[in-house]
Copies of this chain bind each other. A is one copy, B any other.
Amino acid sequence: MSKEVPAIAEIVDLLSKKWVMRIIWELREGPLTFRELQVACEGLSPTVLNNRLKLLQVNQLLGKDDVRGYVLTAMGLELLEVYKPLNHWAKRWQANRKQK
């Protein structure tokens, strides 16, 4: 069994790469093309976008749509669901900081 990498460590590492979560987020409503993604991410450079798309495909969080662009896989969609509670927490956190 040697040196199992804990799943949580692996995903935190992946999600820590810049733009990864943002790209997933932008695909929440359906497929987007390479250039649409670039625009959605405020002009993110094609270099990084391409790297991220490869990375996310290898990790099966997104794939190419039959018709056009990139789409989230079932796993990718689930990840978004899992992130929802974080959204709620984030709002309280933000409010909390502003008090001080």
Contacts and interface: CB of A to CB of B under 8 A. Distances in A.
A97 to B, nearest CB: 6
Interface residues of A, number: 31
Contact of A16 (B17, B86, B96, B100): B17
Interface string A6-17: 011111100111
Nearest to A100: B60
Contact of A93 (B11, B17, B89, B97): B11
Interface of A is mostly: helix
Interface stretch (A29-37, A44-52, A64-72, A77-85): A77-85
24 contacts: A7-B87, A7-B91, A7-B93, A8-B86, A8-B87, A10-B90, A11-B86, A11-B89, A11-B90, A12-B21, A12-B22, A15-B16, A16-B16, A16-B17, A16-B18, A60-B93, A60-B96, A60-B97, A60-B100, A75-B93, A82-B86, A82-B89, A83-B86, A85-B85
